Structure 1
Amino acid sequence: MLSSSRRWADTALLRRLFLPLLILLLLPVPAAAQKMIALSFDDAPRGRGAFFTPEERTARIIAELKKAEAPQAVFFVNPAAIGHGDGAHGEAQLAAYVAAGHVIANHSNSHPHLSGMTAEAYLADIDAAEVWLKGRPGYRPWFRFPFLDEGGKDKVKRDALRAGLAARGLRNGYVTAESSDWHLESLTIQAAKAGKPIDRAALGDLYVTWHVEAADYADGLMQKVIGRQPVQVMLLHETDLAALYIGDLVRALRGAGWTVVSADTAYADPIGALMPDVPSAQGTLTEALAWAAGVPAPRWYRYNDTALATAEFNAKVLHEGGGE
């Protein structure tokens, strides 16, 4: 038989070996990192692009989102564009988005720049859009600032708009991640008008890669400045590029570990209550929060630099010049 001292020694050894393991097993498991993002499209109904009529574009965006099994997206609407010119069938296009399970919200009536008008005139433009939007199927009481201009350096105007939105029961349809897809679309339209050959595979690669990288950049910056991973809101525009590549983008986001969620889910995140007081109110909420936390510039994804983006487009899509 083992002596009592030997048994004590063996017991002590077992405790030293297994007690730390037992403690680790009993500790609560930390939640897995969650990368969640919603899709938002500005400027609906948008004018003709490089490849499709507005009606063809809408049909393709709806079909690609459905094929990719993407959840509800939000389309921020400019009602003044409806009913004439390229927007002749705009009302039917917006109704088609809603019928497909998506929602619509306010992007102002005529897409003005806040820095170029009084707060009163700007709020009147918002009200004009609300007249068209309110009560329609799929309507959400969200307002997104055109150009993401929330007052720039004019804090009096910024605060007037914050108060005006609150008085109207509208919340800020903020953005947290973006890659200036409007610029990529503009470059594509210019190239098409000039009759230049466009490498569509390379164009799709830029569209998809830049947006996934922008989402990851925003995720890392948010963790740094607020200590958690909020639901991100990706800024896109209702463009021909979206019609061509939105399904690829959704699949690529999932491949990079993102869960694509509804716009309703994104705007339920408490981050929406934050209103950073920064020297200039224009850009993404991510950038503003980073600025308020003292993060030095740049506080935005690299291809928001339009000069850099243009050089890459020329090199990769038009096969002109250098690039990275």
Structure 2
Amino acid sequence: MALVSTPALAATAPGVAITIDDFDLSADPLMRGEARDGRLRESLDRFGIKAAGFVAGRNAVGEAGPTVLRAWSDGGHAIGNHSYSHNYYDGKDPLAYWQDIVKAEDVLKPYAGFRKLFRFPFLGEGKTVEGRDAMRQLLSDNGYRNGHVTIDTSDWFYSSRLVARLKADPKADLAPYRQAYLDHIWEKATFYDGVGQQVFGRSIDHTLLLHHNLINGLFLGDLLAMFKARGWRLVDAAPAFAQPELARTYDAMPSGQSVVLQAAIASGRPELARYPGEDSAYEKAKLDALGL
């Protein structure tokens, strides 16, 4: 007998919100940055969801930046702060790093979609407790919340491999890259959701880390369709960030990476986490074996 989904059952399924980092609008081997952005927004619109874009300020001041950010604002998507220079925060000079965040805010705040959500580049929140807490205080004092990632990925590495292949062979078959990308994201989603269930006692609405790159421009729609077909709910980013699990701070070191892993460490379950959470070193052998 086929199982019949009920509203109560559906509500317990994990949700996933799309967050997109960096907004590097340079051209890739197949399309200009503006065209890639249009494909990303079209995929979001097709599935009726609102995303969050975490924009490095330096990427918002080029020729295409204002047009793209107006389109995100007009589409009802949130725009968050990803620093101006996209430098790693090691915690050594919080005030200097804060000035880089302010510089990005000056560029981003004219857009209606701007929200005081800050996402650390490379998800690094400081190598010391003192540096971590100093930046947390600066953000809080100035009305910012952390734009936490729950599902970390290496989509950027998959995209870089695809770009390299297309530069060498412009007629390369895209299908194997599509499948490898979908498999990777699904593996990461189920891993982080599994950790979250153990730490939080339930599946939350996840914030998925993606980047403004070729592989997402090509296959974001396929990714959303995959999540939906496999029983996950597609949710808007704003309410996902409002969940109590993402609003808390966790006393975990090393600080950063997925907030799910931070919560695992803080709750006394460090065996559930790994550091770094995601890295190209974990994925290279897989893609090499596939000839990609």
TM-score, normalization: structure 2? 0.89
| Aligned counterpart for 1:72 among listed residues 41, 50, 53 | 50
Q: 1: CA distance between counterparts of 2:220 and 2:41?
A: 10
- Between the aligned residues of both structures, percent identity stands at 34
Q: Which amino acid aligns with 1:57?
A: R
Q: Which amino acid aligns with 2:75?
A: A
Q: 1: CA distance between counterparts of 2:123 and 2:63?
A: 26
Give CA-to-partner distance per residue, 1:173-199, whole Å, 9 cap, x none.
Answer: 000002211111222223333448643
Structure 1 residue 60, shift from structure 2 partner: 1.3
- 1:170-181 map, 5 Å: 170-181=144-155
Q: Which amino acid aligns with 1:150?
A: E
- C-alpha spacing 1:160/1:171, structure 2 compared with 1 (3 Å): same
- C-alpha spacing 1:221/1:163, structure 2 compared with 1 (3 Å): same
Residue equivalent to 2:206:
232
Residue equivalent to 2:231:
257
- C-alpha spacing 1:112/1:66, structure 2 compared with 1 (3 Å): same
- 1:263-274 map, 5 Å: 263-274=237-248
Structure 1 residue 109, shift from structure 2 partner: 0.9
Establish whether residue 36 from structure 1 lines up as the match of residue 10 from structure 2: no
- C-alpha spacing 1:294/1:300, structure 2 compared with 1 (3 Å): same
Q: Which amino acid aligns with 2:52?
A: V
- C-alpha spacing 1:143/1:220, structure 2 compared with 1 (3 Å): same
Name which of structure 1's ranges 306-315 and 34-43 shifts more when overlaid on structure 2. 306-315
Establish whether residue 112 from structure 1 lines up as the match of residue 91 from structure 2: no
> CA contact under 8 A between 1:303 and 1:309: conserved in structure 2?
no
Secondary structure of the residue that 2:117 maps to in structure 1? Answer: strand
Residue equivalent to 2:136:
162
Secondary structure of the residue that 1:178 maps to in structure 2? Answer: coil
Q: 1: CA distance between counterparts of 2:273 and 2:94?
A: 27
Q: 2: CA distance between counterparts of 1:55 and 1:315?
A: 33
Q: Which 5+ residue runs of structure 2 have no aligned equivalent?
A: 1-7
Secondary structure of the residue that 1:214 maps to in structure 2? Answer: helix
| Aligned counterpart for 1:203 among listed residues 169, 177, 180 | 177
Secondary structure of the residue that 1:123 maps to in structure 2? Answer: helix
Q: 1: CA distance between counterparts of 2:92 and 2:280?
A: 26
TM-score, normalization: structure 1? 0.81
Residue equivalent to 2:286:
312
The number of aligned residues is: 285
Q: 2: CA distance between counterparts of 1:144 and 1:49?
A: 25
Residue equivalent to 1:5:
none
Structure 1 residue 293, shift from structure 2 partner: 2.6
> CA contact under 8 A between 2:44 and 2:50: conserved in structure 1?
no
Give CA-to-partner distance per residue, 1:96-130, whole Å, 9 cap, x none.
Answer: 22222322110111101112851111100001111
Q: Which 5+ residue runs of structure 1 have no aligned equivalent?
A: 1-28, 319-324
Establish whether residue 96 from structure 1 lines up as the match of residue 71 from structure 2: yes
Higher Rg:
1
Q: 1: CA distance between counterparts of 2:120 and 2:111?
A: 21
> CA contact under 8 A between 1:78 and 1:111: conserved in structure 2?
yes
RMSD between superposed Cα atoms in Å? 2.3
| Aligned counterpart for 1:131 among listed residues 97, 103, 106 | 106
Structure 1 residue 250, shift from structure 2 partner: 0.4
Q: 2: CA distance between counterparts of 1:63 and 1:297?
A: 40
Q: 1: CA distance between counterparts of 2:276 and 2:146?
A: 25
Residue equivalent to 2:4:
none
Give CA-to-partner distance per residue, 1:29-77, whole Å, 9 cap, x none.
Answer: 888523111100000144333422111111111222223x140001111
> CA contact under 8 A between 1:45 and 1:90: conserved in structure 2?
no
> CA contact under 8 A between 1:109 and 1:126: conserved in structure 2?
yes
| Aligned counterpart for 1:275 among listed residues 229, 246, 249 | 249
Q: 1: CA distance between counterparts of 2:253 and 2:76?
A: 39
